[in-house]
Amino acid sequence: MCKGLAALPHTCLERAKEIKTKLGTLLQKPDSSVDLIIPYSEKPEKPAKLQKPSAEEAWQWRNSLEKLLQNPYGLASFQNFLKSEFSEENIEFWIACEDYKKIKFPSKMTEKAKKIYEEFIQSEAPKEVNIDHFTKSVTMKNLVEPSESTFDLAQKKIFMLMEKDSLPRFVRSSIYQEFIK
């Protein structure tokens, strides 16, 4: 009877070590230089298998943010890069606007527009994007009667900001350099 109880703490200790080892393995970064992030979306979808782009395809991204964002692997890589720089709010806003444009029902559009405004546009928003007063004002006026184009001006400004500022940094990053090798 005592022999069984004496073995119990040892068994628990061994089990704890085993769990700690498995947990440590799960928490380690993968060997790949890119941790793919599923882009922001209202409802999660089944993640698609992303195919790594060819060097030629990745080379085109250097001069075209549009081509980068059209490629699921490129988008995920760019989002990962911005997250590593603590500046992912711009790409998250851009993705939220793209998702918003796909909404067909006015009631859903109003609800989503309010969420986007509260998360990215309003002063002191959790992920406030850097847009000028005029753009913010136009966007706020558009919120009175939300439509597919409610965030177009703000999205365009953020796109231009990413194109001029974030894309050049991404192109110099080790993440991008791996693609063009």
pLDDT in tens, 81-133: 999 999 999 999 999 999 999 999 999 999 999 999 999 999 999 999 999 99
Domain boundary assignment for the chain? 55-180
Of 2 and 123, the structure prediction assigns the larger pLDDT to 123
Q: What is the mean pLDDT of residues 47-54?
A: 71
**CB contact burial 71-82 (16+ within 10 A = b; e otherwise):** bbbbbbbbbbbb
Provide the whole-model pTM. 0.71
Please tell me the CATH code under which domain 55-180 is placed.
1.10.167.10
Mind spelling out the 3-state secondary structure of 74-97? Answer: HHHHHHHHHHHCCCCHHHHHHHHH
**CA separation for the pair 68, 3 (Å, rounded):** 65
8-state DSSP, 42: S
In terms of DSSP H, where are the helices of 43-180? 55-61, 65-70, 72-84, 89-101, 106-116, 133-142, 152-161, 167-172, 174-180
Q: Is 52 exposed, middle or buried (0-12, 13-18, 19+ CB in 10 A)?
A: middle
Q: Is the pLDDT of residue 33 over 80?
A: no
Tell me the percentage of the chain whose pLDDT exceeds 70.
73
Mean residue pLDDT of the chain comes to: 81
